[in-house]
């Protein structure tokens, strides 16, 4: 049984058409001189780059959410809160002990955002769980000024934040502990959702193709069981390769380093 070449031909012609249209429409823009970069954000006299560390629950989402805060320029997912530690932990060690806190260390511009405001922004965004150290709500002041501000902020327990609207999380469950060594978590934990959003979208697409719901033989396509079978096979293969790649990434991108 041999597949009819018609659907493939349609596909190839379609792809070529697309590429040609892309060239026609995109090329002129690509040939134009690149516009000048946008003007830098106005700097205040107080501008100073500082770091601040918070326990925010599982660090995947909060490390991304903190980057949306105006004045925050960097967010690193890491482990801290274990003054007895002498060497970097692994993610497994963090999960199987009760000594470590998953934390986010942000770099922020003190001239745009003062520390007490940053505490508000962090509290709004954390995903802490009550009763867990690993996933607890923590503030780790890095100097005496941050320690004083954090204490005042927590004691004042502003009406707006005393209990968080979204999930009734009480501000009073926030723990202040002096900062100790902060270890940058494994690379595969950094920018987690930025990496996984497109991967999950690709998996969803592959699943649709592998199951036959989408593609030749599927909705709105030319019915051709042989081609449909081949395409589903390829989709399966790519999906399995992707899963193996993700496992390999966990092995290869696993360095945990202490940050100064």
**Where in the sequence numbering do the catalytic residues fall?**
58
Query: What residues numbered 84-113 form the site for ligand MHO, per CB under 6 A?
Result: 102
What does the alpha-carbon distance between residue 147 and residue 167 come to, in Å, rounded to a whole number?
Answer: 27
79 near ligand MHO, judged by CB under 6 A? no
Least separation in angstroms between CB 182 and ligand MHO: 16
* 25: helix, strand or coil: helix
Number of residues that bind ligand MHO (CB under 6 A): 5
Best CA proximity match to 248, nearest among 188, 184, 183: 188
Distance of CA 199 to the CA centre of its chain: 13
Instruction: Rule CB under 6 A: choose which of 7, 50, 60, 140 binds ligand MHO.
Output: 60
What does the alpha-carbon distance between residue 95 and residue 89 come to, in Å, rounded to a whole number?
Answer: 10
Least separation in angstroms between CB 241 and ligand MHO: 24
Query: What residues numbered 40-59 form the site for ligand MHO, per CB under 6 A?
Result: 58-59
What does the alpha-carbon distance between residue 206 and residue 235 come to, in Å, rounded to a whole number?
Answer: 5
Closer to ligand MHO by CB, 120 or 127: give it.
127
Closer to ligand MHO by CB, 58 or 214: give it.
58
Query: What residues numbered 156-215 form the site for ligand MHO, per CB under 6 A?
Result: 189
Q: Which residue is nearest to ligand MHO (CB)?
A: 58
- Record the tokens describing residue 202, joined without a space: 């690709």
Instruction: Let me know: does 242 contact 203? Beta carbons within 8 Å.
Output: yes
Least separation in angstroms between CB 257 and ligand MHO: 17
Torsion angle, CA of 243/244/248/250, rounded to 10 degrees? 30
Which parts of this chain interact with ligand MHO (CB under 6 A)? 58-60, 102, 189
């Amino acid at each position: 049984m041999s597949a009819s070449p018609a659907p493939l031909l349609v596909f190839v012609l379609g792809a070529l058409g697309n590429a040609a249209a892309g060239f026609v429409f995109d090329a002129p823009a690509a040939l134009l001189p690149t516009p000048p970069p946008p003007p830098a954000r106005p700097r205040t006299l107080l501008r100073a780059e500082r770091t601040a560390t918070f326990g925010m629950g599982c660090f995947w989402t909060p490390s991304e959410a903190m980057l949306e805060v105006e004045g925050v320029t960097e967010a690193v997912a890491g482990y801290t809160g274990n003054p007895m530690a002498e060497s970097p932990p692994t993610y497994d060690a963090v999960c199987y002990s009760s000594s470590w806190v998953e934390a986010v260390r942000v770099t922020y511009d003190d001239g745009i955002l003062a520390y007490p405001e940053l505490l508000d922004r962090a509290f709004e965004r954390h995903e802490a769980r009550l009763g867990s150290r690993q996933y607890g709500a923590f503030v780790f002041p890095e100097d005496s000024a941050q320690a004083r501000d954090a204490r005042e902020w927590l004691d004042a327990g502003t009406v707006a934040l005393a209990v968080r609207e979204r999930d009734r999380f009480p501000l009073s469950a926030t723990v202040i502990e002096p900062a100790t060594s902060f270890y940058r978590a494994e690379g595969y934990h950094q920018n987690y959702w930025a990496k996984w959003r497109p991967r999950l979208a690709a998996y969803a697409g592959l699943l649709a193709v592998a199951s036959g719901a989408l593609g030749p033989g599927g909705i709105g396509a030319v019915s051709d069981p042989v081609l449909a079978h081949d395409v589903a096979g390829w989709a399966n293969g790519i999906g399995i390769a992707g899963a193996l790649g993700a496992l390999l990434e966990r092995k290869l991108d696993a360095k945990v380093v202490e940050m100064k």
